[in-house]
Amino acid sequence: MNKMTRRIAVLLFASLAAGTPALAETPDSPAARENRWRDLEKSVFDGLTATPDSKIVALEAPIRAEDASLVPMTITLGGDRIKELYLIIDDNPAPVAAHFIFGPAGDPHVVKLRVRVNSYTNVHAVAVLQDGRLVEDAKFVKASGGCSAPMGESDEEATKGMGEMRLKFPGAAIPGAPTEATLMVKHPNFNGMQMNQVTRMYTPARFIDRITVKDGGALVFDLEASLSLATNPVLSFNFDPQPAGPVTVEVHDTDGGYWRQDFVHPSATN
């Protein structure tokens, strides 16, 4: 277990030990939220603090989520100087929803992902720059029940096709011309908080905890995820196409599930 994974685990435990998160819809005071963030920040970043700079990190999130179990987030990044990116949902049971480490084939400009939001909360996007500096942006999101909301279908139905992947490119992938791609993965991402009321049991947690994307063997990004990713995660990112490709996607889950797929670059001629 590396340092970050351990830290996620510690935070998760601390949060759950304090009891199931309240369903309360009344936001607590901005001051209380700020204090909560300062504590989180301290434990996630070893005492370092992040400063806002919208040229480097800008987070777009809906003010009110249409569906708390599928809340789209877009993070616009200032580019090359960015080494890592965290998405932290302050009041979720496992606040660190995603931690990206960008590699040489990565092009950290826009990252889009979908998360579950359990209660009214601040969401923070924090970038770690090459020089170690932390830059953040935050948004307040009104949503509730996204973690415990029952799935629309049975557990069995939700597990169908697990590990199936698609990678979509808006155009050709030409070396030297950074482009966008959207990765879709079928996975129920059971977070251990959805109750089956026939059995009165919680569906055991089983969620994607790591996604690695490479192009032609060069790392695009390595993502450590927690139980806050939405069911059937969809992830958009930018990368710098390598001469030969292919784009290799590896997905791991908490049950030891492992899926790998290669995607050839779309050619420039069509």
Partner 1 sequence: MPPARGLLGVTRRDAIFGGACLCCLPSLGRAEDFRVEEVAPGVFMRRGVDREASQENLDAIANIGFIVGDDAVLVTESGGSLADGVRLRKAIREKTAKPIKFVVLSHVHPDHVFGAGAFLEDAPAYIGHAKLGPALAARGDFYRQRLMALLGDANVGPVVMPTKIVAAREEIDLGGRVVALQAHKPAHTTSDLSLFDRASGFFMPADLLFVGRMPSLDGSLTGWIAELEALQAQSFGKAVPGHGPLTVDFPSASEKLLRYLKILRDGVRAEIDRNGTIERAIETVALSEKTHWALFDEYNRRNITEAYRELEWQ
Residues of this chain that bind partner 1 (CB under 8 A): 16, 20, 23, 60, 62, 66-67, 70, 72, 74, 93, 112, 114, 145, 148-154, 168-170, 180, 182, 184, 186, 192-193, 195-198, 200-202, 204-205, 232, 234, 236
Instruction: Give the residue with the Cβ less far from partner 1, 81 or 163.
Output: 163
Q: How many CB atoms lie within 10 A of CB 27?
A: 15
Shortest Cβ distance from residue 117 to partner 1 (Å)? Answer: 13
Instruction: Give the residue with the Cβ less far from partner 1, 104 or 170.
Output: 170
Instruction: Give the residue with the Cβ less far from partner 1, 134 or 181.
Output: 181
Phi, psi of 69 (to 5 degrees): -95, 5
Instruction: Give the residue with the Cβ less far from partner 1, 197 or 269.
Output: 197
Instruction: Give the residue with the Cβ less far from partner 1, 52 or 150.
Output: 150
Shortest Cβ distance from residue 16 to partner 1 (Å)? Answer: 6
Shortest Cβ distance from residue 217 to partner 1 (Å)? Answer: 26
Q: Which H/E stretch holds residue 167?
A: strand 165-168
Shortest Cβ distance from residue 166 to partner 1 (Å)? Answer: 8
Q: Per the structure block, which two tokens stand in for 265?
A: 């670059």
Is 6 in a helix, a strand, or coil? Answer: helix
Q: Per the structure block, which two tokens stand in for 207?
A: 């969620």
Single-letter amino acid, residue 51: T
Shortest Cβ distance from residue 142 to partner 1 (Å)? Answer: 13
Q: What DSSP state is assigned to residue 119? A: S
Sign of the CA dihedral with 34 first, then 40, 44, and 47 last: positive
What is the DSSP annotation of 52-75?
E-TTTEEEE--SB-SSTTSEEEEE
Instruction: For residues 227 and 185, give the distance between their C-alpha atoms in angstroms, rounded to a whole number.
Output: 15
Instruction: For residues 172 and 252, give the distance between their C-alpha atoms in angstroms, rounded to a whole number.
Output: 28
Residue pair 93/61 in contact (Cβ under 8 Å)? The answer is no
Shortest Cβ distance from residue 260 to partner 1 (Å)? Answer: 20
Shortest Cβ distance from residue 129 to partner 1 (Å)? Answer: 27
Instruction: Give the residue with the Cβ less far from partner 1, 130 or 154.
Output: 154
Instruction: For residues 160 and 155, give the distance between their C-alpha atoms in angstroms, rounded to a whole number.
Output: 9
Is 214 in a helix, a strand, or coil? Answer: strand
Instruction: For residues 87 and 223, give the distance between their C-alpha atoms in angstroms, rounded to a whole number.
Output: 11
Instruction: Give the residue with the Cβ less far from partner 1, 77 or 193.
Output: 193
Single-letter amino acid, residue 17: A
Instruction: Give the residue with the Cβ less far from partner 1, 32 or 195.
Output: 195
Shortest Cβ distance from residue 215 to partner 1 (Å)? Answer: 18
